[in-house]
Structure 1
Amino acid sequence: RRMRADEARSKKRKIEVDAKQGTQKIQKQDPRVDADYFDGYSGIEIHQDMLKDRVRTEAYRDALLENADSIKGKAVLDVGCGTGILSLFAMDAGARVVYAVDASKMADYTKRIVKANNADHVVKVIKGKIEDIELPEKVDVIVSEWMGYFLLYETMLDSVLIARDRWLKPGGKMFPTKAKLMLGAFTWPEYYRENLGYWTSVYGKDFTALLPLASRTHLERPVIDVITPQQEVTDCAVIRDIDLLTAQKHEFKSWSSDFRVEAIINAPIHGLCAHFEVEFPAPRELDQTLPETKVVDKRKRKQSGRKRGLVLSTAPDGEETHWAQTLFFFDLPLRVLQDDVVEGRIDVATNSFNPRLLDIVLEWNKTGAPGGPPNSACKKKKFIFD
Structure 2
Amino acid sequence: MNVDRETNTSETCECTADEDKEMSGPLYAISNFNPTGDGQISLQKGQAVNVLRRSNENWWWVESNGCYGYAPVNHLAGVISTQPEWQDEEYFGNYGNLKLHLEMLSDKPRTEAYMNAIVKNADKLRDKVILDVGCGTGILSMLCVKHARPKHVYAVEASDIAEYTQKAVEKNGMASKITVLNDFAENAKIEDDVDLIISEWMGTMLLFEMMIESVLSMRDRFMKPELTIWPSSASLYLVPCTAQVHFNRKLEFWDCQYGLDFSSFKTLAKEDLLSKPYHDYELPCGDCLAKGQSVLQLDMKTLTIQSLENIVCQFEFVIDQGDTMHGFCTWFEVEFCPLSEDMDTVILNTGPDNQLTHWKQNLFLLDSPVRVNAGDVISGTLTISRNPEYRRHLRAFFDFKVIPGLQESKIVDPSSVQKMFYVWR
State the SS of the aligned residue for 1:39.
Answer: helix
2:417 pairs with one of 376, 379, 386: 379
Q: Are 1:33 and 2:69 an aligned pair?
A: no
- Distance between the aligned counterparts of 2:170 and 2:294, measured in 1? 43
What percent identity do the matched residue pairs reach? 33
Q: CA deviation at 1:168?
A: 4.3
Opposite residue 416 of structure 2, the aligned amino acid is C
1:356 pairs with one of 384, 392, 399: 392
Q: CA deviation at 1:254?
A: 1.4
The structure with the largest alpha-carbon Rg is 2
- Distance between the aligned counterparts of 1:108 and 1:118, measured in 2? 16
Opposite residue 380 of structure 1, the aligned amino acid is Q
Q: 1:32 to 1:311 in 2, by over 3 A?
A: closer
- Distance between the aligned counterparts of 1:250 and 1:156, measured in 2? 14
2:115 pairs with one of 50, 54, 61: 61
Q: 1:212 to 1:373 in 2, by over 3 A?
A: farther
Q: CA deviation at 1:255?
A: 1.6
Q: Say which structure is richer in helix.
A: 1
Asked if 2 retains the 8 angstrom alpha-carbon contact of 1:268 and 1:336, the reply is yes
Opposite residue 261 of structure 1, the aligned amino acid is F
TM normalised by structure 1 equals 0.85
- Distance between the aligned counterparts of 1:341 and 1:57, measured in 2? 38
Q: CA deviation at 1:374?
A: 6.0
Asked if 1 retains the 8 angstrom alpha-carbon contact of 2:240 and 2:328, the reply is yes
- Distance between the aligned counterparts of 1:361 and 1:271, measured in 2? 12
Which residue of structure 2 lines up, in the alignment, with residue 280 of structure 1?
336
Opposite residue 177 of structure 1, the aligned amino acid is S
Deviations 1:156-194 (CA, angstroms, capped at 9, x unpaired): 110000011112443121111010011111111112222
Q: CA deviation at 1:312?
A: 0.3
- Distance between the aligned counterparts of 2:79 and 2:95, measured in 1? 24
Which residue of structure 2 lines up, in the alignment, with residue 233 of structure 1?
289
Equivalenced residue count is 346
Q: Are 1:244 and 2:296 an aligned pair?
A: no
After superposition, residues 36-185 of structure 1 pair within 5 angstroms as 36-92=90-146, 93-185=148-240
Q: CA deviation at 1:281?
A: 1.4
- Distance between the aligned counterparts of 1:201 and 1:249, measured in 2? 48
Opposite residue 128 of structure 1, the aligned amino acid is D
Deviations 1:271-327 (CA, angstroms, capped at 9, x unpaired): 01111100001252535xxxxxxxxxxxxxxxxxxxx41110111111111111111
Asked if 1 retains the 8 angstrom alpha-carbon contact of 2:86 and 2:390, the reply is no
Asked if 2 retains the 8 angstrom alpha-carbon contact of 1:137 and 1:167, the reply is no
Which residue of structure 1 lines up, in the alignment, with residue 406 of structure 2?
369
| RMSD of aligned residue pairs (Cα, Å) | 1.9
Opposite residue 369 of structure 1, the aligned amino acid is L
State the SS of the aligned residue for 2:153.
Answer: strand
List alignment gaps of at least 5 residues for structure 2. 1-72
Q: CA deviation at 1:31?
A: 5.6
Asked if 1 retains the 8 angstrom alpha-carbon contact of 2:85 and 2:390, the reply is no
List alignment gaps of at least 5 residues for structure 1. 1-19, 288-307
- Distance between the aligned counterparts of 1:30 and 1:144, measured in 2? 24
Opposite residue 136 of structure 2, the aligned amino acid is G
- Distance between the aligned counterparts of 1:281 and 1:32, measured in 2? 31
Which residue of structure 2 lines up, in the alignment, with residue 317 of structure 1?
353
- Distance between the aligned counterparts of 1:30 and 1:192, measured in 2? 35
- Distance between the aligned counterparts of 1:165 and 1:105, measured in 2? 26
After superposition, residues 200-349 of structure 1 pair within 5 angstroms as 200-224=255-279, 225-286=281-342, 308-349=344-385
Greater alpha carbon shift after TM alignment, 193-202 vs 117-126: 193-202
- Distance between the aligned counterparts of 2:410 and 2:108, measured in 1? 43
Opposite residue 383 of structure 1, the aligned amino acid is F
Asked if 1 retains the 8 angstrom alpha-carbon contact of 2:86 and 2:392, the reply is no
Q: CA deviation at 1:135?
A: 0.4
Asked if 1 retains the 8 angstrom alpha-carbon contact of 2:85 and 2:391, the reply is no
